[in-house]
Amino acid sequence: MRLPKEFLQRAVLDSLELKRKFFSAHSDDISAFCEELKQAKSAGKKVLIFGNGGSAADAQHFSAELMHRVERSPLLVRALALHTDTSLLTAYANDEDFKHAYAHQIEVLADPGDIAIAISTSGNSANIVEALRVAREKQCKTIGLLGRNGGKAKEFCDRAFVVPHESTPRIQEVHGMLIHLVCQLLEENL
């Protein structure tokens, strides 16, 4: 299939403009988020990241870069993408309820001062909202990489990066760039 030039140009321009507006609006929050991650690393705290579908892939990507590196220097942040323990995730979802699968892991793994990062393009997934609620109870710092209007998850986030768009691919493109920029800033400042 041949991609029409108009479709391609419209998608690229939409993505570029969305990124320009988002990063202009959130530059101070991005700096503060990097500082929080830096302090968590210094204090030996954990970063627990979770999402569904493509956002789970982003969570895994973020975790890998925090544990390893983006370009040059290892970051060595204690990070874990919660969906990667498939035996636990599927057992808990089967035996209990998928709505609580991430919340259960946070209940067991999180300590006060850890950082819980939710990634969701809608902000309304019940398992994401529940995990953030439990993270707050556990006195974790809660961060949201969210889309649309932030959904229900936004109210449980100490810091919410909301991409105000209706297209899941465009939202995920901004989330991906945010993940890279945060890790690159950390690399420069550790």
Q: What is the pLDDT of residue 8?
A: 86
State mean pLDDT over 148-155: 98
Give me the domains of the chain, ranges plus CATH numbers.
9-189 (3.40.50.10490)
174 falls in which pLDDT band (50, 70, 90)? very high
Contact 62, 34 (CB under 8 A): no
Q: What is the pLDDT of residue 73?
A: 85
Amino acid at 17: E
Q: What is the pLDDT of residue 2?
A: 72
**In angstroms, rounded to a whole number, what is the distance separating the alpha carbons of residues 121 and 9?**
23
Closest alpha carbon to 143 in 158, 124, 163: 158
pLDDT surpassing 90 at residue 179: yes
Q: Which tens digit of pLDDT belongs to each residue from 92-138?
A: 999 999 999 999 999 999 999 999 999 999 999 999 999 999 999 99
What letters, b where the CB count within 10 A reaches 16 and e where it falls short, cover 116-153? bbbbbbbbbbebbbbbbbbbbebebbbbbbbbbebbbb
pLDDT surpassing 80 at residue 152: yes
